[in-house]
C-alpha cells in the first residue's frame, strides 16, 4: 500500500484494497533515501497521490522493524480520507459488474435527492497536474543519455536506468524534444486517458519522423507510442490491476508474471503493418506490448520495473539500452525483436522433456500412515491419479495403507497394497513394466525409496523414465552439504552449518559455529531427530537420536527467534515459473512446519520483503531444475532484510496441501500434468475453466 498510494497513476482515484487487513507493517520513513536522494519505499517524492482509501479492516498496531507511522496517521498527516469496516469483496463485485465507477466517501448515508457532486478525474488532464514542471537530471555523468518524458513516472524507472549506468533527464509531459540532446527516448506511465496527452503524442511523432533514436514506453507510455503510430485506444470496463498478471511473449510463447495498473488499452487490430504484437495478457487476451519489425521502437503495457513487484521482465531495460548503445557505436544493430527473443528463449533439458508420452505410469503412494497423520500425501497422490487419467494414461499405485482415498475403487487402474521399499517396488516394476514413475507425490518415504532404486540402477534396468524433477535435483536438495554448495553458486546463502556423520564430528562442528546450535537429520520425515542444543551435553543427546534416523546430521548456527517463511513454487519443463502461495509460521524458527500454526499469506512482511523472497525462490528453483511443485523455506531476521535459505523440498510437501486448500490452486494436479511436459500456460485454471493456470493467486482472505 505505501507504493500504490504514492503511485501517480492512481492520482485522484479512490483506491479499494481487497485484502481483509491492511496496515500490518505500518509505513516506513520518507527520510530513508537512496544515493540520488529519492525515497526508497514510495513511488514519488510528493506524498500520497490517491484521493481516498477503502479497506475491510485497518491494523492499528503494526509490527515491522521499518515502520515509523501507522497507515491511519500517515494518511491523516497528509489530509487523505479513508474508511474501514467495508465489505470490500461485495464492493469488488459491484465494480466488476459495472466497470470502474464514480464514488465518494461520506460520513453518513445521503438522502435520495442529494446532489453527490461526483467528479470524474478522467475529464481533467491528470498528466499535466502531476508531471514535473522543469527538467531534472539524474546521474549527470552517466551514459548513454536517456530522455524520460514524465507523465507520472515511478521512481524505480529512474533507478533501473541509473543502475545500468545511464544519465536520465526527466522532462515535462509537453516538453519540446530535441533529438540531438539525447540517445534514447523513454515514455513513462501516468494517470488518465491517453487521448488527453496530444502534446506528448506530437513530440513522439516528431522524434519518429526526424530520427531513428530507440524508443521505449511503459503503461501510458505504451498507449502514447501506439497513438503516435496511428493505433486506437479504448477504455476497458474494469482494467487490469495487480502484481500477478500473466503475459505471453509472442516470440517464445513463454509466460511471465507482471505488475499492471491500467484502465485503457491498445486495440491491436489497428496496428500498422510494420508493427506487431509483443506481449498479450493470457487471461483476457488484451494487448500488453508492441514492437516495430525492424526499427528500435517498442513498448509494454505492464510495469517491468515495478518497485517491489515481479522482476521477471526487468531485462527490458537492458534490451532498450543495448539498442541505444549499438546505435551510438555505429554497429549494424541486432533488432530489438531478435535480441529480446534470444534473451527469453529457453531450451528445455533433454533429460526432463518426454520424447513420447508414457502409456503406463507407476505412482509411489503415501506409505503407511497413522490415523489423522499426513493425509496430505494421500491428497497429492489422488490428484496425480486424477490428472493422469484425464490424459488417458494407465496408473499403477503402490500404497500399503488401505484407509486412503487414493486406494479407493475408481481412482488408480491397479493398486498394490505393498510396503514402499525398494524390493517390493522392483517386483511391481518387473511385473507391470511401466514407462514412467512419479516419486514426488508420496512424501519423504516415496522420495527416499525412489533415490535408493535409482542408485541401484533399477529404473535404468527396466527402462522406466523418472518424470518431473530429475533425480539428481532431488539428491542435491536432500543432501544438505551439496545443497549448501549449489545454493552458493548463485550467490544465495544457507545458514552457517556443517554436515557431520558422528557424535564427535557434531561436537567439533558446534565448537566452530558456536552455541546454541540446531541439529537436523538429513533425509528425515517430519523433522525427526531435530532440535536446539545450548551445550555439549544437550548436543550429545540430540546427535544420538538424530543419527538413529539418518547417517547424516546437519549442525546449524542457531537462528532461534527468526521468522520462518515459505513459498510454494511451480515450474514447468519450459522454464515458466510462478509462486503460488507464501506462508509464515506463527511459531518462530525451530518448530517444524508440520507441527506449527501457519498463516497464509504472511502478515507482517512488507511488499519489498515478499518480492525479495519471491525472486530468490524462483532463482533457486530454476537453478536446481525442479519440474513440478516444490517449496522453499527461509529464515528471515525480524529486525532486517537478512535471510537464509533453510531448505528446498523438491516434492509435494505437507504445506502443499494447505496451500492448495488456501488458494484453490490444485498444486498436485498441476504438478502431475507438468511431469508429462505439458507447458504451464496450456493448463486451464481449475476454478474458471477458461483462463490459464500460469498465474499467482491473490487472496482477499486470510488462512490460518
Active-site amino acid positions: 219, 303, 305
Could you tell me the three cell numbers for 334? 541486432
* Residue 154 phi, psi (nearest 5): -90, 140
The C-alpha atoms of residue 262 and residue 260 are separated, in whole angstroms, by: 6
Which 3-state string (H, E, C) describes 246-283?
EEEECCCCCEEEEEEEEEEEECHHHCCCCEEEEEEECC
Could you tell me the three cell numbers for 362? 507407476
Q: Where are the beta strands (DSSP E) in 88-176?
A: 136-138, 145-149, 167-171
Residue 314 exposed, middle or buried by CB count within 10 Å (0-12, 13-18, 19+): middle
Q: Are 678 and 660 in contact (CB under 8 A)?
A: no
CB atoms within 10 A of CB 481: 14
The C-alpha atoms of residue 306 and residue 160 are separated, in whole angstroms, by: 10
Tell me the chain's radius of gyration from C-alpha atoms: 27
The C-alpha atoms of residue 14 and residue 662 are separated, in whole angstroms, by: 29
- From the list 197, 78, 34, 84, the residue with the least C-alpha distance to 131 is 197
Q: Are 225 and 290 in contact (CB under 8 A)?
A: yes
Strand partners, 277: 290
Give the DSSP H or E segment for 610.
helix 607-624
Could you tell me the three cell numbers for 287? 494487448
- From the list 201, 155, 218, the residue with the least C-alpha distance to 7 is 155
**N-to-C CA span, the chain:** 23
Could you tell me the three cell numbers for 279? 506481449
Helix axes 443-455, 471-478, angle to 10 degrees: 120
- Sheet containing 577-585, strands listed edge to edge, beginning at the edge strand earlier in sequence: 598-599, 577-585, 563-571, 628-636, 643-649
Q: What is the DSSP letter of 219?
A: T
* Residue 619 phi, psi (nearest 5): -60, -45
Q: Are 18 and 92 in contact (CB under 8 A)?
A: yes
- From the list 416, 425, 419, 413, the residue with the least C-alpha distance to 461 is 425
Q: How long, in residues, is the chain?
A: 704
Helix axes 480-488, 471-478, angle to 10 degrees: 100
Q: What is the DSSP letter of 89?
A: H
- CA atoms in the 13 A half-sphere facing the CB of 29: 7
Amino acid at each position: 500500500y505505501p507504493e500504490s498510494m504514492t503511485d501517480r497513476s492512481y492520482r485522484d482515484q479512490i483506491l479499494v484494497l481487497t485484502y481483509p487487513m491492511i496496515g500490518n507493517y505500518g509505513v516506513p520513513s520518507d527520510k530513508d533515501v537512496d544515493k540520488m536522494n529519492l525515497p526508497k519505499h514510495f513511488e514519488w517524492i510528493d506524498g500520497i497521490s490517491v484521493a481516498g482509501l477503502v479497506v475491510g479492516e485497518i491494523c492499528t498496531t503494526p509490527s515491522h522493524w521499518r515502520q515509523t507511522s501507522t497507515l491511519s496517521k500517515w494518511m491523516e498527516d497528509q489530509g487523505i480520507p479513508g474508511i474501514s469496516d467495508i465489505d470490500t469483496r461485495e464492493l469488488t463485485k459491484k465494480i466488476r459488474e459495472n466497470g470502474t465507477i464514480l464514488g465518494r466517501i461520506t460520513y453518513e448515508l445521503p438522502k435520495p435527492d442529494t446532489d453527490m457532486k461526483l467528479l470524474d478525474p478522467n475529464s481533467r488532464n491528470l498528466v499535466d497536474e502531476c508531471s514535473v514542471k522543469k527538467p531534472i537530471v539524474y546521474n549527470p555523468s552517466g551514459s548513454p543519455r536517456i530522455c524520460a518524458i514524465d507523465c507520472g513516472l515511478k521512481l524505480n524507472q529512474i533507478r533501473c536506468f541509473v543502475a545500468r549506468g545511464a544519465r536520465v533527464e526527466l522532462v515535462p509531459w509537453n516538453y519540446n524534444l530535441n533529438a540531438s540532446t539525447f540517445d534514447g527516448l523513454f515514455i513513462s506511465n501516468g494517470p488518465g486517458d491517453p487521448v488527453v496527452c496530444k502534446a506528448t503524442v506530437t513530440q513522439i511523432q516528431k522524434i519518429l519522423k526526424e530520427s531513428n533514436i530507440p524508443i521505449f514506453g511503459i503503461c501510458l507510455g505504451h498507449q502514447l507510442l501506439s497513438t503516435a503510430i496511428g493505433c486506437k485506444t479504448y477504455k476497458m470496463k474494469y482494467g487490469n490491476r495487480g502484481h500477478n498478471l500473466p503475459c505471453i511473449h509472442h516470440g517464445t510463447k513463454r509466460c511471465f508474471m507482471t505488475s499492471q495498473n491500467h484502465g485503457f488499452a491498445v486495440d491491436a487490430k489497428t496496428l500498422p503493418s510494420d508493427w506487431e504484437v509483443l506481449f498479450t495478457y493470457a487471461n483476457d487476451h488484451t494487448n500488453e506490448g508492441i514492437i516495430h519489425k525492424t526499427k528500435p521502437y517498442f513498448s509494454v503495457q505492464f510495469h517491468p520495473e515495478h518497485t517491489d513487484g515481479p522482476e521477471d521482465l526487468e531485462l527490458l531495460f537492458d534490451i532498450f539500452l543495448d539498442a541505444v548503445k549499438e546505435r551510438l557505436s555505429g554497429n549494424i544493430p541486432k533488432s530489438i525483436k531478435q535480441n529480446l527473443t534470444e534473451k527469453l528463449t529457453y531450451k528445455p533439458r533433454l533429460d526432463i522433456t518426454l520424447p513420447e508420452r508414457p502409456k503406463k505410469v507407476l505412482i509411489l503412494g503415501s506409505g503407511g500412515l497413522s490415523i489423522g497423520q499426513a493425509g496430505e500425501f494421500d491428497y497429492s497422490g489422488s490428484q496425480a491419479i486424477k490428472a493422469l487419467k484425464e490424459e488417458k494414461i494407465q496408473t499403477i499405485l503402490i500404497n500399503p495403507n488401505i484407509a486412503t482415498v487414493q486406494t479407493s475403487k475408481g481412482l488408480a487402474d491397479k493398486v498394490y497394497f505393498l510396503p514402499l521399499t525398494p524390493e517390493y517396488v522392483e517386483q511391481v516394476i518387473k511385473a507391470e513394466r511401466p514407462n514412467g514413475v512419479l516419486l514426488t507425490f508420496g512424501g519423504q518415504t516415496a522420495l527416499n525409496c525412489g533415490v535408493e532404486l535409482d542408485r541401484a540402477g533399477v529404473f535404468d534396468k527396466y527402462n522406466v523414465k523418472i518424470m518431473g524433477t530429475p533425480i539428481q535435483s532431488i539428491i542435491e536438495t536432500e543432501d544438505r552439504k551439496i545443497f549448501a554448495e549449489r545454493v552458493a553458486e548463485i550467490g544465495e546463502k544457507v545458514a552457517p552449518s556443517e554436515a557431520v556423520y558422528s557424535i564427535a564430528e557434531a561436537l567439533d562442528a558446534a565448537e566452530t559455529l558456536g552455541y546454541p546450535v540446531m541439529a537436523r537429520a538429513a533425509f528425515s520425515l517430519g523433522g525427526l531427530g531435530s532440535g536446539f542444543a545450548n551445550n555439549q551435553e544437550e548436543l550429545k543427546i540430540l546427535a544420538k537420536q538424530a543419527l538413529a534416523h539418518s547417517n547424516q546430521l546437519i549442525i546449524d548456527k542457531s537462528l532461534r527467534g527468526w521468522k520462518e517463511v515459505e513459498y510454494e513454487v511451480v515450474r514447468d519443463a519450459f522454464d515458466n515459473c510462478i509462486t503460488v502461495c507464501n506462508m509464515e509460521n506463527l511459531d518462530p524458527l525451530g518448530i517444524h512446519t508440520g507441527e506449527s500454526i501457519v498463516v497464509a499469506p504472511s502478515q507482517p512482511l512488507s511488499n519489498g520483503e515478499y518480492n525479495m523472497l519471491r525472486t530468490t525462490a524462483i532463482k533457486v528453483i530454476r537453478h536446481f531444475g525442479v519440474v513440478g511443485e516444490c517449496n522453499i523455506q527461509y529464515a528471515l531476521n525480524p529486525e532486517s532484510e537478512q535471510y537464509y535459505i533453510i531448505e528446498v523440498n523438491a516434492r509435494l510437501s505437507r504445506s502443499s496441501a494447505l496451500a492448495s486448500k488456501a488458494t484453490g490452486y490444485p498444486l498436485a494436479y498441476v504438478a502431475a500434468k507438468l511431469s508429462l511436459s505439458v507447458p504451464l500456460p496450456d493448463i486451464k485454471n481449475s476454478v474458471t475453466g477458461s483462463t490459464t493456470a500460469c498465474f499467482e493467486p491473490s487472496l482477499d482472505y486470510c488462512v490460518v
